[in-house]
Amino acid sequence: MDSVMSFFGLDCTKKKEKEEERHLRANDRELNLSYKYATNAIKTSKYNLFTFLPLNLFEQFQRIANAYFLFLLILQVIPAISSLSWFTTVVPLVLVLLVTAVKDASDDFNRRKTDRQVNNRRVSVLVSGELRSEKWMDVQVGDIIKLENNKFVAADLLLLSSSEPLNLVYIETAELDGETNLKVKQALTVTGEMGDCIEKLAAFNGEVHCEPPNNRLDKFTGTLTFRDQKYALDNERILLRGCTLRNTEWCFGLVIFAGPETKLMQNCGKTTFKRTSIDHLMNVLVLFIFGFLAFMCTVLAIGNGIWEFQEGSVFTAFLPRPDGVDASFSAFLTFWSYVIILNTVVPISLYVSVEIIRLGNSFYIDWDRKMYYPRSDTPAEARTTTLNEELGQIKYVFSDKTGTLTQNIMTFNKCSISGKSYGDVFNFAGQRLEITEKTEKVDFSYNPLADPKFSFHDHSLVEAVKLEAPEVHNFFRLLALCHTVMAEEKEEGNLLYQAQSPDEGALVTAARNFGFVFRSRTPETITIVEMGVQKSYELLAILDFNNVRKRMSVIVQSPEGKLSLYCKGADTIVYERLHPSCSKLMDVTTEHLNEFAGEGLRTLVLAHKNLDEDYFREWSTRHHMASTTLEDREERLDELYEEIEKDLLLLGATAIEDKLQDGVPQTIEQLSKANIKIWVLTGDKQETAENIGYSCNMLREEMTDVFIISADTPQEVHEELRNARKKMKPESEDEPTIIQRGILDKKSKMLPDETVDGEYGLVINGHSLAYALDKSLEQELLRTACMCKTVICCRVTPLQKAQVVELVKKYKQAVTLAIGDGANDVSMIKAAHIGVGISGQEGMQAVLSSDFSFAQFRYLQRLLLVHGRWSYLRMCKFLRYFFYKNFTFTFVHFWYAFFCGFSAQTVYDEWFITVYNLVYTALPVLGMSLFDQDVNDRWSVQFPQLYSPGQLNKYFSKTAFFKCVLHSCYSSLVLFFIPYAAMYDTVRDDGRDIADYQSFALLAQTCLLITVCVQLGLDTSYWTAVNQFFLWGSLAVYFAITFTMYSNGMYLIFTASFPFIGTARNSLNQPNVWLTILLTSILCVLPVVAYRFLLIQLCPTINDKVRFKVRQAKVALPPPSFRTRLRRRSSRRSGYAFSHAQGYGDLVTSGKYLQRGAISRGRGFSSSIQQRSGALQEMPQMYRAVKDASQ
């Protein structure tokens, strides 16, 4: 996988002569070819049949581990140094290279296949005056191509003309940025005039000068020169490769960038590698091990020098030295010989095994049925298979709100109409009932136009509508008229609303179901069906929403000729503009509003007034004047709006529930029990964010305090942050204590965690956050925020989201996770250690850049508490065990050196050395690292505290590693000296030799293998049949292979390779050999058992306690109780929660956004193109958060 990315990095940034400016002329292939621009053929595969072997090997040997083993191999072929046969390194190396090569080859083959598929797509190209169907790969810069509906855009095009009025095209950019909503692009009028006239298009010879290829999706600058006129080109005129044409019959485009130079392809190589903290630790440890290896080799080399000087020189009669080798040179050679022998401390199979384990644990995530969301048929997906164990170490979770915590579905839940509250269900005794799935729903079948998906439970509201109470009717009439929703009626009675904000959609849908059906609109009229009667209202004015006004109004004239103004808006705003006669009603409504707010609902207040016709005519003229002036237009309009929106009559209030995803409060509770801090970063308004904070239990009434940071200057922000911190912890120092993390890199600092009494919450808005993220304030922000249990940042831009994540990463040695669903979360998903995408909500962009994806926020609990914890546990167990078994293996050589004249003689048979890691011990340890679980998933969720060892790096750290080394040291001493003493001067039971080198080697390796197997058994806490099979199988395989290799047949065929003939038969039938093996294994394991038992007795960890409890419980756990959320009663007033963008009013009146077909073409498009493109900017563009932030 690494290689894949490195390839992308390689390919996308391939150095070329830097292109300063692109110049091309339409329909002039000769000129365009002279620039040698890339053609539209893409090539993401990197090998062909001949280059595969050299290229792939070259890439593989760029990895340090492989290069190191190549180096060892070279050492081994030097006869004077070679202490081991070449095959001890070659066999594992070839195996590893082979596996990787096969994987790379199959990856590349797949890429090749998709490349070919894409390159062979057909598109109509205008060649020498006629349209020809050509393959994508034959398209060249400067060609004019014709695209049809629902087809992919073949290259980056300059839009020339389209079938749609005003040369608009609609495109879907889901593949590019994940947004599924349609975007509008528009051709220049001058090119648009050509239409689909082939002659004109063939004669088109416009010249384009534009920017060189780059990867900015949202920007384009260039000019078109046509008929001696220059036209500016911007992103509005460009169709990017990867988009899909929608709702547009055809369009023509001029190819600007092709193939690898398209913005899509330019965007592909920027992914940064994520490495887990275990990876980092392992790198450090490997460095340490290399140092240690060098140290051991030096000691042994010195030993060899001394030995050669003292003993070797007098032993030459029996063992002459090679020519020109004296004691010191021999020591030098010995150093390298021991490098070869002791290289098993950094075994090549470690890296392979780690990858396999991660892959296996990723598959478990893909396979988990409890993370599968049936409604969208989405299973969880581990998109990155190299980060699993980090899931068990998360300390900070950064979550998006909309679409992640909430469903972004608004439901009309309650309302208050002229002092009466509707929406609750009461039983006969008058007690309020909890509304559940089973509560009886109101039957809307009397209304043929009702939306079947809408549900409401309070029957009294329907009764009120049926009783034709004027207030109730006015209430719903308002909801049906005062909005900017578009209706689409594809077939009779099947209405589809396209609302700009889900709140509005919910309100209009509610009105529809209660008998006030909004049916269609034109720029001048709104047609509604009132209780079965179709009426057309004249739409006289839309007093649009904006952030300051926090309300919107419409002025309509009923078919009867009555003029009315309908207004909906934030309670505080609308209350100021009510007629004094409403004061009594206001009080009742306020009470209701408080009640709604306390339940976390979003509220709006509705009011209306009747207008005097003369007054309105007069106002209307002034309004027209104001809207056409050039100076202070905004202010003058605002004044006019203020003037007319007064003395309103209160109708009531609506309450909309921003539906949380399922199980969000429970998940958050569980995660916070696991000591994971959750920060919500949202583009939403402060009020909405707070609201959600309360409804998902992050903020609670019983919290000691909730600080709200919303200031306008850096000083104020600093002041507020410091005050908050002082309030939480009066004794906290002003100057933060900074821990230098390492000696080596002075730059990395760390802020220690400060603990406070009580629970606090922090809400900070985007404006303050911008200041707080400044270098001078960031530490203050972090200290304060980390003292709080809950942090909510609102009005955050995508960039700020990433900055917050980076800030925590920078100063806290903690693992972070970001979870989000939209394109605006991409930056934070990429910035965090782990990015999680919610799939199936807002397009794919977040998912595409995420490491893990699933459909529901609540699965995060399982991902972390179960999969993450297990992965971490398994990885740590694996590493501890792996280092243990290899160190033990290697250290025995070290001890033996003192008895063989430091001659780099191995203790074991060379074949044993070759296959020890690959065959004898590979499967049992893999089995453990794939199946082990201390307690099962339900207990893991039951006791979130089990998660905390991962956050504290308890299971694998430098200390743990050091313990491993000590343990290995002890084991290797036992493993060498017990056989040594047991075999010293002893003989077989028939008097023959048994203290020979080969028998000793066999004894030592058997002891070693049995000891490491027993140790593995001790480490395994979850013995499945597979584990048993692997463990016993490995031992059986060991004896089988040993007997085979030491058999007569093998010796007679490969005399030189298997000199151990007969050793197994002759020594394994000796009782004292087996007694030695038993003693050695027992002696190796006993202290470990005693130590672990003592630990459990004296200072049991949470883990031990839970396991003990599981053991005691025996009976199955009771099913996890999903407690229903407590209803909160609070005096908090929910703010204006009208997630609405400004400018829709214009769109509606201009008619441009209206569905085609609803109005006759051309009508209503009277305003100039400039204005229109201005209006277009107000439409949701590429990124949702940009819209949020621009408010």
Partner 1 sequence: VMASGYSAKEEDGHHSGALGPAGGAAVRSRKPDNTAFKQQRLPAWQPILTAGTVLPAFFIIGLLFIPIGIGLYVTSNNIRELQIDYTGTESSSPCFACSQNYSWNMTTPCVCSVSFSLDQPFESNVFMYYGLSNFYQNHRRYVKSRDDSQLNGNLNSLKEPSKECEPYRTNDGKPIAPCGAIANSLFNDTLALYYNDPNGTETQIQLVKRGIAWWTDKHVKFRNPVGDDSNLTAIFQGTAKPVNWQKPVYELDSDPENNGFINEDLIVWMRTAALPTFRKLYRIIEKNSSTSPTLPRGNYTLKITYNYPVRSFEGRKRMILSTISWMGGKNPFLGIAYITVGSICFFLGVVLLIIHHKYGSRSSSADLTH
Known binding positions for ATP: 400-402, 504, 545, 568, 602, 682-684, 795, 801, 824-825
Binding residue for partner 1 (CB under 8 A) from 129, 493, 758, 1059?
A: 1059
Q: Please report, for residues 282, 283, 295, 334, 353, the alpha-carbon distance to residue 288 in angstroms, rounded to integers and kept in the order given.
A: 9, 9, 10, 21, 20
Residue 621 binding partner 1, by CB under 8 A:
no
Binding residue for partner 1 (CB under 8 A) from 366, 424, 759, 1019?
A: 366
Residue ranges in 13-52 that form contacts with partner 1 under rule CB under 8 A = 42, 44
Kindly tell me which of 119 and 522 has the beta carbon lying closer to partner 1.
119
Shortest reach from residue 1112's CB to partner 1, in Å: 7
Residue ranges in 59-88 that form contacts with partner 1 under rule CB under 8 A = 79, 83
Cα within 13 Å of Cα(406), Cβ side: 24
Residue ranges in 383-402 that form contacts with partner 1 under rule CB under 8 A = 383-386
Kindly tell me which of 46 and 718 has the beta carbon lying closer to partner 1.
46
Shortest reach from residue 62's CB to partner 1, in Å: 17
Binding residue for partner 1 (CB under 8 A) from 396, 476, 894, 931?
A: 931
Strands 381-382 and 406-417, bridge-based pairing: unpaired
**Catalytic position from the list 108, 143, 368, 400:** 400
User: Are residues 408 and 899 in contact, defined by beta-carbon separation less than 8 angstroms?
Assistant: no
Burial state string for 1000-1039 with b = 16 or more CB within 10 A and e = fewer than 16: bbbbbbbbbbbbbbbbbeebbeeeeeebeebbeebbeebe
Closest CA to 843 of 373, 271, 177, 399: 177
Kindly tell me which of 813 and 1101 has the beta carbon lying closer to partner 1.
1101
Residue 972 binding partner 1, by CB under 8 A:
no
Among 49-57, 137-145, 289-297, 1048-1056, the segment contacting partner 1 (CB under 8 A): 1048-1056
Binding residue for partner 1 (CB under 8 A) from 589, 839, 921, 951?
A: 839
Instruction: Locate all alpha helices (DSSP H) within 1054-1168, ordered by sequence.
Output: 1063-1067, 1071-1098, 1102-1113, 1144-1150
CA dihedral 93, 94, 95, 97 (to 10 degrees): 80
Q: Is 400 a catalytic residue?
A: yes
Residue 318 binding partner 1, by CB under 8 A:
yes
The secondary structure of residue 127, as a DSSP letter, is E
Residue ranges in 1063-1122 that form contacts with partner 1 under rule CB under 8 A = 1065-1066, 1070-1072, 1075-1076, 1079, 1082-1083, 1086, 1089-1090, 1092-1094, 1096-1100, 1102, 1104-1112
| DSSP secondary structure letters along 12-26 | HT---SPP--EEEET
Binding mask 83-102 for partner 1 (x = CB under 8 A): x-------------------
Shortest reach from residue 815's CB to partner 1, in Å: 18
Instruction: Locate all alpha helices (DSSP H) within 238-276, ordered by sequence.
Output: 263-266
Residue ranges in 226-245 that form contacts with partner 1 under rule CB under 8 A = 242, 244
In angstroms, the CA 609 to CA 482 distance is: 13
3-state secondary structure of 1073: helix
Binding residue for partner 1 (CB under 8 A) from 981, 1040, 1053, 1126?
A: 981
Kindly tell me which of 245 and 607 has the beta carbon lying closer to partner 1.
245
Binding mask 935-954 for partner 1 (x = CB under 8 A): -xx----xx-----------
Q: State the burial class of residue 1180 (Cβ atoms within 10 Å of its Cβ: 0-12, 13-18, 19+).
A: middle
Residue 1040 binding partner 1, by CB under 8 A:
no
In angstroms, the CA 895 to CA 971 distance is: 12
Q: Please report, for residues 448, 512, 907, the alpha-carbon distance to residue 159 in angstroms, rounded to integers and kept in the order given.
A: 44, 40, 75
Residue 980 binding partner 1, by CB under 8 A:
yes
Residue 322 binding partner 1, by CB under 8 A:
yes
Residue 1126 binding partner 1, by CB under 8 A:
no
CA dihedral 1001, 1003, 1004, 1010 (to 10 degrees): 140
Annotation: binding site for Mg(2+): 400, 402, 821, 825
Residue 970 binding partner 1, by CB under 8 A:
no
Residue 754 binding partner 1, by CB under 8 A:
no
Shortest reach from residue 803's CB to partner 1, in Å: 21
Residue 978 binding partner 1, by CB under 8 A:
yes
Residue ranges in 292-311 that form contacts with partner 1 under rule CB under 8 A = 311
Shortest reach from residue 118's CB to partner 1, in Å: 4
| DSSP strands (E only) in 936-987 | none
User: Are residues 764 and 807 in contact, defined by beta-carbon separation less than 8 angstroms?
Assistant: no
Kindly tell me which of 173 and 682 has the beta carbon lying closer to partner 1.
173
User: Are residues 152 and 164 in contact, defined by beta-carbon separation less than 8 angstroms?
Assistant: no
In angstroms, the CA 36 to CA 56 distance is: 29
Closest CA to 361 of 760, 1043, 930: 930
- Find all residues with CB under 8 Å of 395, minimum gap 6, and list them: 675, 676, 677, 812, 814, 815, 816, 951
Shortest reach from residue 704's CB to partner 1, in Å: 21
Binding residue for partner 1 (CB under 8 A) from 52, 87, 329, 1023?
A: 1023
- For residue 67, give both structure tokens: 């290069």
Cα within 13 Å of Cα(90), Cβ side: 9
Shortest reach from residue 1069's CB to partner 1, in Å: 12
Binding residue for partner 1 (CB under 8 A) from 58, 86, 109, 367?
A: 367
Residue 129 binding partner 1, by CB under 8 A:
no
CA dihedral 739, 741, 743, 746 (to 10 degrees): -80
**Tokens 């277009």 correspond to what residue?**
1176
In angstroms, the CA 1009 to CA 1020 distance is: 16
Kindly tell me which of 514 and 947 has the beta carbon lying closer to partner 1.
947
In angstroms, the CA 621 to CA 618 distance is: 5
Binding mask 679-708 for partner 1 (x = CB under 8 A): ------------------------------
Shortest reach from residue 1016's CB to partner 1, in Å: 13
Binding residue for partner 1 (CB under 8 A) from 107, 489, 524, 705?
A: 107
Residue 319 binding partner 1, by CB under 8 A:
yes
Shortest reach from residue 1143's CB to partner 1, in Å: 29
Binding residue for partner 1 (CB under 8 A) from 30, 133, 317, 1119?
A: 317
End-to-end CA separation in angstroms for the chain? 42
One-letter amino acid identity for 739?
Answer: I
Residue 982 binding partner 1, by CB under 8 A:
yes
Residue ranges in 872-911 that form contacts with partner 1 under rule CB under 8 A = 899-901, 903-905
Tell me the site size for partner 1, rule CB under 8 A: 144
Residue 103 binding partner 1, by CB under 8 A:
no
Residue ranges in 150-189 that form contacts with partner 1 under rule CB under 8 A = 152, 174-175
In angstroms, the CA 976 to CA 988 distance is: 20
Closest CA to 1150 of 1128, 1173, 1125: 1173
The secondary structure of residue 274, as a DSSP letter, is -
Shortest reach from residue 157's CB to partner 1, in Å: 15
Residue 1032 binding partner 1, by CB under 8 A:
no
- For residue 1105, give both structure tokens: 């306690």
Binding residue for partner 1 (CB under 8 A) from 52, 57, 235, 269?
A: 269
Residue 666 binding partner 1, by CB under 8 A:
no
| DSSP strands (E only) in 92-143 | 122-127, 130-135
Residue 966 binding partner 1, by CB under 8 A:
no
Cα within 13 Å of Cα(703), Cβ side: 20
Shortest reach from residue 794's CB to partner 1, in Å: 29
One-letter amino acid identity for 976?
Answer: F
Residue 798 binding partner 1, by CB under 8 A:
no
- For residue 1152, give both structure tokens: 């441009």
Which residues are part of the catalytic machinery? 400
